[in-house]
Amino acid sequence: MSKVIDLKKISKHYEMGEQTFKALDDVNVSISKNEYVAIIGPSGSGKSTLMNILGCLDVPSEGEYLLKGKLVKNMSETELAHQRNESVGFIFQSFNLIPRATALENVMQPLVYRFIAAKKRRRMAIESLKRVGLGDKVHHLSSQLSGGQRQRVAIARALVTKPHILLGDEPTGNLDSKTTRDIMSLFDELHNEGHTIILVTHEQDIADHCNRVIRLVDGKVVADTVKVKEERLHV
């Protein structure tokens, strides 16, 4: 199976006065196409820093990151923006929707940066909203939607560019237990369709959904466990 992510001896340092804080320390991780991965750890473990590096939002202090076989540190700002727009679909805990925009307008937004014609953008966004079960909410403002529906809009927005990787940062953190089950079932379906999914979480029940669990403590990978598909648990 082909690698979509290959991290080699990744470290991230922050200077705090005369001290150096290591958010990540010698991380080596490879993720292949169609893997379903949870990155789990307590607050301060380095999860968010790793997510930002995976999504090309930040760069490591040391080490090499290959995204689809290409060395990220050699990419220009234009190439990095291209990767963020086309290779990675981001799903955030806080949804990050435009409040006064409709579900359709929110989902169309990433396509604007591809210079896709308006008619085609609209068609692609409607298809993506239907995929997440919101075909009847196309013209609703995000403020008119429930938390679960807003997260579905966020997933539709991530899917609309047909990315190689879906990267979720605590994607169920603001949802109740029933809505969490619904959203995780949707992630299960997307994985079964062939998507590569990486969920950053501190919740064990979310990690139990995934086929592979990478555990971080103090910026280090302390466990990397692969489960057979039949063992996946459900929240």
Domain containing 218 — which CATH number?
A: 3.40.50.300
- Percent of the residues in the chain that have a pLDDT greater than 70, as a whole number: 96
The conformation of residue 231, written as its DSSP 8-state character, comes to G
> Which residues 6+ apart lie within 8 Å of 227 measured at CB?
210, 211, 212, 213
- Domain span at 168: 34-62+76-230
Cα–Cα distance between 107 and 96 in angstroms, integer?
11
What pLDDT score does 81 carry? 86
Apex 105 CA angle, 156 and 99, nearest 5: 95
70 within some domain: no
Question: Which tens digit of pLDDT belongs to each residue from 90-113?
Answer: 998 889 999 999 999 999 999 988
How far from the centroid of its chain's Cα atoms is residue 158's Cα?
A: 8
Question: Which tens digit of pLDDT belongs to each residue from 164-205?
Answer: 899 999 999 889 999 999 999 999 999 999 999 999 999 999
235 within some domain: no
Q: Given a cut of 80, is residue 4 above it in pLDDT?
A: yes
163 within some domain: yes
67 within some domain: no
Q: Given a cut of 50, is residue 235 above it in pLDDT?
A: no
Question: Which tens digit of pLDDT belongs to each residue from 138-159?
Answer: 999 999 999 999 999 999 999 9
The 3-state DSSP class for residue 132 equals coil
| Closest CA relative to residue 27, chosen from 80, 69, 73, 64 | 64
pLDDT mean over 29-57 = 94
19 within some domain: no
Q: Label the pairing between strands 220-226 and 212-217.
A: antiparallel
The conformation of residue 45, written as its DSSP 8-state character, comes to S
208 within some domain: yes
What pLDDT score does 94 carry? 87
Complete DSSP assignment for 56-82? TSS--SEEEEEETTEEGGG--HHHHHH
| Cβ-contact 33, 1 below 8 angstroms | yes
Least confident range of 35-39, 113-117, 159-163:
113-117
1 within some domain: no
pLDDT mean over 66-91 = 90
Query: For the chain, how many helices (H) and strands (E)?
Result: 7, 10
Cα–Cα distance between 201 and 209 in angstroms, integer?
12
Greater confidence, 114 or 119?
119
Torsion of Cα atoms, 162 then 168 then 174 then 175, to 10°:
60
Question: How does residue 1 score in pLDDT terms, banded at 50, 70 and 90?
Answer: low
38 within some domain: yes
| Cβ-contact 218, 57 below 8 angstroms | no
| Closest CA relative to residue 211, chosen from 48, 4, 90, 33 | 33
Cα–Cα distance between 207 and 235 in angstroms, integer?
10
Q: Given a cut of 50, is residue 7 above it in pLDDT?
A: yes
Tally the domains of the chain: 1
> Which residues 6+ apart lie within 8 Å of 115 measured at CB?
none
| Closest CA relative to residue 111, chosen from 127, 130, 95, 99 | 127
